[in-house]
Amino acid sequence: MIVAGCDIGSRTAKAVIMEDSNILAACVMRDKPDPEESAREVMAQALAQAGMRMDQVERCVGTGYGRKQVTFAQAVESEIVCHGRGAQWLEPSIRMVIDIGGQDAKAIKLDEKGKVIRYAYNDKCAAGTGRFLEVMAKPLGVRLEDLGSVSQKSTTPVKVSNQCVIFAETEIVSLINAGKPVPDIVCGLHRAMAHRVAALAKGIVVEGEVGMTGGVAKNEGMFNALEEALGVKIHKIGWDPQMVGAIGAALIAREMVPSA
């Protein structure tokens, strides 16, 4: 059976096409202002990658912020469920998923079947989001993909305290102006953010194997900082962590009982 998952996030759109337990195609692209268009386009890319047509896809589940705009999906599911499902399928030992996307951070606790037991979002005014890193990367003159490696060069990470994305940016600018080395600022940023996310996870009690999903999981600096803040090893997910939500959606599509 061929199914698809389409995750329209706040920053990126993702689509996955699966046949039974094989992932045939997986695509990510930057969001268009119109989520409906994003969904169509990323799906078209994925179909092209798999060499298929839409009518070959039996079912599709939409997820993410823009899930209601995935017009071709038969059903929608919250990204919490999808990330939980996807992570569990990829790494069955995982009991807690930390998903940091563009707009928010979530900690999700799972049972052994991948069902969500509890979850928590980032506090209001919290800077624990991917968008935060994007905004900060600009004045620092570092590419998003390089944040991780740059951060590894830090010797004495600086302290970044502001929780508001916008104000933290000012703080960064003044740190740059004060002549602080860029790696130290980047590392400080990761730490500040990791601490906030860790507090979130600790709020629902960290137990069992922890995995990290969402685009920010690709940032090694953040990955390491989070390990440090949580005080546990994070299980690396064998797949592109940004795709986990879409994979979860596809899995749910596969399991759905077709409505008559």
Partner 1 sequence: MREVFKEYDFDWRLGSLARKALGLSNATQKEYQYSLNYAPSYRDALDEIIRTGEPGVLMVTFIRDYIEEIVNAHAHGKKVALVTFNFSPAILHAFDIVPFCLEAMTTFYTAVWKQGISDCLDFGCEKGFTETSCTGQRLALGPILAGLGVKPDMILYSTAGVCDSNAVSYAFASSYLGIPQCNINYPPTLTDERAAEYHRADFRNMVAFLEEQTGRKMDMDRLREVADEIVIQDKMFNELQDLQQIIPCPMPPLYAMMNFAFRMIYLGSKQYTTLLESMLRIAKANAAKGIAGVGEEKVRAFFFYIDHFCPNIKWIIWNRKQGISNVAAFLNDFWPKGNPFLKHPEEGYEMDLSSYDKIIDSLALQTSRFPMVKNIRGPYDAPMMWLDDTLSMARIVKPDVLFYIGTMGCRNTWSNVKLMVRDLEKAGYPTFVSYGDSFDNRVDPVDNLIGKCSEFLKIRGVLQ
Partner 2 sequence: MIVAGCDVGSLTAKAVVLGQTRILGYAVIDANTSPARSAEEVLHKALALSQIGKQDIKRCVGTGYGREKIPFADQCISELVCHAKGAHWIMPAVRTIIDIGGQDCKAMRVDAKGQIAKFYTNDKCASGTGRFLEVMADLMGITLEDLGQLSLKSKQPAVLASACTVWAQAEIIRLVGERTPLPDICAGINDAMAGRVATLINTIGIENDLCMTGGVAKNMGVVKSLESITGMRVRRLPVDPQIVGALGAALLARGVSL
Partner 3 sequence: MRKELSEAANQLNNGSVQAWKAAGKKVVGYSCTYVPSEIIGAAGLLPYRLRGIEAATTDIGDSYYGPVVCSYPKCLLQLAGEGTYRFLDGAIITNGCDTMRRLEECWRKANEDIPGILPAYYHYYGTPHKVEPYSLKWFEEENRLLIESLENHFGVKITDERLREQIELYNTGRRLLQRLEKLRMRDEIVISGTDATTIILASTALPWSEYVPLLEETLGELEQAKPNGMKGKRVLLGGSVTDDTDLVRVIEEAGAVVVADTLCFGSKLFDDLVSTEGDPVKALSERYLNRSFCPRMFAYYQPRYQSLKEKALKAKVDGVILQNVRFCDMHGSENGLFERDLEAMGIPCIRIEREYGPLVEDGRVRMRVDAFLERIQ
Tell me: does residue 159 bind partner 3 (CB under 8 A).
Answer: yes
- Contacting positions for partner 1 (CB under 8 A): 78, 80-81, 116, 118-119, 121, 123-124, 203-205
Q: Which of 116, 3, 90, 94 is nearest to 54 (CA)?
A: 3
Pick the closer one to ligand SF4 by CB: 39 or 200.
Answer: 200
Show contacts with ligand SF4 in window 200-259 (CB under 6 A): none
Q: Binding string, 111-140, against partner 3, x = CB under 8 A?
A: ------------xxxx--------------
CB of 169 to partner 2, least distance (A): 7
3-state secondary structure of 3: strand
Tell me: does residue 103 bind partner 3 (CB under 8 A).
Answer: no
> What is the four-CA torsion angle of 59, 64, 67, 73, rounded to 10 degrees?
-10
Q: Which of 196, 203, 208, 199 is nearest to 110 (CA)?
A: 208
Pick the closer one to ligand SF4 by CB: 125 or 173.
Answer: 125
- The DSSP code sequence of 108-127 is EEE-TTS-EEEEEEPPTT--
Q: Which two tokens stand for residue 228?
A: 């440090």
Tell me: does residue 169 bind partner 2 (CB under 8 A).
Answer: yes
- The DSSP code sequence of 139-199 is HHT--GGGHHHHHTT-SSPPP----SHHHHHHHHHHHHHTT--HHHHHHHHHHHHHHHHHH
Burial class (CB in 10 A: 0-12, 13-18, 19+), 210: buried
Out of 54, 92, 203, 255, the residue judged to bind partner 3 by CB under 8 A: 203
Q: Which of 253, 250, 210 is nearest to 230 (CA)?
A: 210
Pick the closer one to partner 1 by CB: 116 or 135.
Answer: 116
How many secondary structure helices (H) and strands (E) does the chain include? 8, 10
CB of 7 to partner 3, least distance (A): 28
Pick the closer one to partner 2 by CB: 166 or 205.
Answer: 166
180 binds, among partner 3, ligand ADP, ligand SF4, none (CB under 5 to 8 A by kind): none
Strand order across the beta sheet in which 105-110 lies:
116-121, 105-110, 94-100, 209-213, 234-235
* Residues found near partner 2 in the complex (CB under 8 A): 10, 33-36, 65-66, 68-69, 103, 124-125, 129, 131, 135, 139-141, 164-167, 169-170, 173-174, 176-177
* Residues found near ligand SF4 in the complex (CB under 6 A): 125, 164, 166
* Residues found near partner 3 in the complex (CB under 8 A): 123-126, 159, 161-163, 167, 170-171, 174, 191-192, 195-196, 198-199, 202-203, 229
